[in-house]
Amino acid sequence: MKPLLAYITLAGILLILDLIWLGVVARDFYRQGLGPLMAENINLAAAIGFYLVYSIGLFVFVVQPALDNGDWKSAAMMGALFGLVSYATYDLTNLAVLKDFPLNIAVVDMVWGASVSAVTAATTVILVNRFAG
């Protein structure tokens, strides 16, 4: 039961933080930087697929090991690394194959991936350890 609670907590935190980032904080930044590359409407199936798969990866490779040893600091550090590697895969591939993909978008996105993953993983470990002990 604890792993399921941890996964649901993680997915919820990730979704909320990413919606705030994409919908409020950096909305204009991405819209200006990506211009015509941005779709008018979100592909909901692809977005749901991303959150499900990314949450599974963050849970399996970061949160579950940190829950086993109770260390939120390792969750933060490994979450940052997982996020950086994951987002860099996307952003550096875009830089390699898409004409005029903006470097500043790639850099900001990689920093965001590392940050949101670190905060999500650490917060999940803290909350699950506190409330599901």
pLDDT tens digits along 29-87 = 999 999 888 888 889 999 999 999 999 999 999 999 999 888 999 999 999 999 999 99
- Number of domains, the chain: 1
Element (H, E) at 83: helix 72-97
> For the chain, what percent of residues have pLDDT higher than 90?
88
Hunting for tokens 């996105």 — which residue is that? 109
* Both structure tokens of 66: 């940190």
- Tokens representing 123 are 């917060």
Please give the pLDDT value at position 80.
98
What residues make up the domain containing 89?
2-132
| Residue 25 pLDDT level (bands cut at 50, 70, 90) | very high
Tell whether the model's pLDDT for residue 2 goes beyond 80.
yes
